[in-house]
Structure 1
Amino acid sequence: VLSGSQTTSGDNVFNTVERKTVGTKLKVTPQVNEGDAVLLEIEQEVSSVDSSSNSTLGPTFNTRTIQNAVLVKTGETVVLGGLLDDFSKEQVSKVPLLGDIPLVGQLFRYTSTERAKRNLMVFIRPTIIRDDDVY
């Protein structure tokens, strides 16, 4: 990501670039309570670069975040969902030159649309492991 730009006296341009990590992040903070119950504080984040953005300021990022707190017994499974993604991409294929002719060019062009839906599901099963010497 371009985070800054500076021009020197010799008309040289120096750009400052900053890295940004995109993808899926999962942060789980467990807390063991009485009766073999586990409190899980869960934060999910899905981020991506928006390919449809044409900004002159640089790329646009899509970020979706969910925060949950769940109390579950050891060995039970927690299922989390809700980070839905609906993706649509249109692509044009054409015969060179002939596809650019007004009116008649439509006969030499093909437009296809790709669609996908994604639902991120996370399954977590906390298990308390005890040291036998202590108990």
Structure 2
Amino acid sequence: MVGGVNTATLGDILSSSGGSFGIFSGNVLGLALTAVQGNKHSKLLSVPRILTLSGKRGLISSGQNVPIVTGKIIGQGVDVKNPFQTIERRDVGISLDVTPVVLNSDSVMLTVKSKADSVSNISNATDIVFNQRSIDTTVQLKNGDTLLIGGLIQHNAVNSTSSVPFISAIPLIGWLFDARSDTKDNTVMYILIRARVLNVI
């Protein structure tokens, strides 16, 4: 127990392999951040803060705007090495959308929508592949409580091939100069949110 928080329970949730849900009395964000920063296999993605009115939506996002090839034209009058392409752009990254409804001075209902998009590492894909994870839930918290949701597992598999130019193209023996590698890993995303009601005078 640290500061009234059962750290064993928190650790069990963060190390579980399935969907996770927990409500903790008090602020466990500091404990969670310390645990993440002390684990070489963990990475802190974002620590945003949102201030909004009761019943009003608050949104914060962080990421990149990446180009996507949606069409390609190769034909007469078009350079084969540089075909005409149509491009669209898409936002990828992390977004947190919250809508709080204050029930009283000690209780708040919170609707949480979170999404994490990233570009996949699949090297043999003919187009860009996106990884997507999202959470959508509504909970009731006491003022100062911390909500933990997540446990969404993403399986990543990367297949890559490298070869020696020209020599690898020689029939029968070219494959001897190819190197193939397969990499697999799993990532789990967790979200911790602490709700606080501010009294405006």
TM-score, length-scaled by structure 1 = 0.71
Q: Deviations over 1:3-58 (max 9, x none)?
A: 689xxxxx89x976443211221101111113611111000112234555425xxx
Question: In the alignment, is residue 32 of structure 1 matched against residue 102 of structure 2?
Answer: yes
1:8 aligns with: none
The 1:106–1:18 alpha-carbon spacing in structure 2 relative to 1, beyond 3 Å, is closer
The 1:47–1:105 alpha-carbon spacing in structure 2 relative to 1, beyond 3 Å, is same
Within 1, Cα distance between the matches of 2:173 and 2:69?
42
TM-score, length-scaled by structure 2 = 0.51
Larger Rg: 1
The 1:112–1:17 alpha-carbon spacing in structure 2 relative to 1, beyond 3 Å, is closer
Q: Deviations over 1:76-123 (max 9, x none)?
A: 110010332211111112222222234422322211122222111111
The 1:92–1:24 alpha-carbon spacing in structure 2 relative to 1, beyond 3 Å, is same
1:74 aligns with: 143
**Structure 2: runs of 5 or more not aligned:** 1-67, 79-83
* Aligned mate of 1:99, from 155, 168, 175: 168
Within 2, Cα distance between the matches of 1:96 and 1:66?
46
**Contact 2:69–2:88 (8 Å) recurs in 1:** yes
Q: Which amino acid in 2 is paired with 1:70?
A: V
Tell me which protein shows more strand as a share of its residues: 1
Question: In the alignment, is residue 22 of structure 1 matched against residue 95 of structure 2?
Answer: no
Question: In the alignment, is residue 42 of structure 1 matched against residue 112 of structure 2?
Answer: yes
The 1:40–1:64 alpha-carbon spacing in structure 2 relative to 1, beyond 3 Å, is same
Within 2, Cα distance between the matches of 1:75 and 1:66?
22
Runs of 4 or more off by more than 3 Å in structure 1? 1-5, 14-18, 48-53, 59-64
Within 1, Cα distance between the matches of 2:116 and 2:98?
15
2:180 aligns with: 111
Within 2, Cα distance between the matches of 1:110 and 1:2?
29
Within 2, Cα distance between the matches of 1:121 and 1:105?
46
RMSD: 3.1
Per-residue deviation, 1:61? 4.4
Within 2, Cα distance between the matches of 1:116 and 1:124?
27
Sequence identity of aligned pairs in percent? 33
Per-residue deviation, 1:124? 0.5
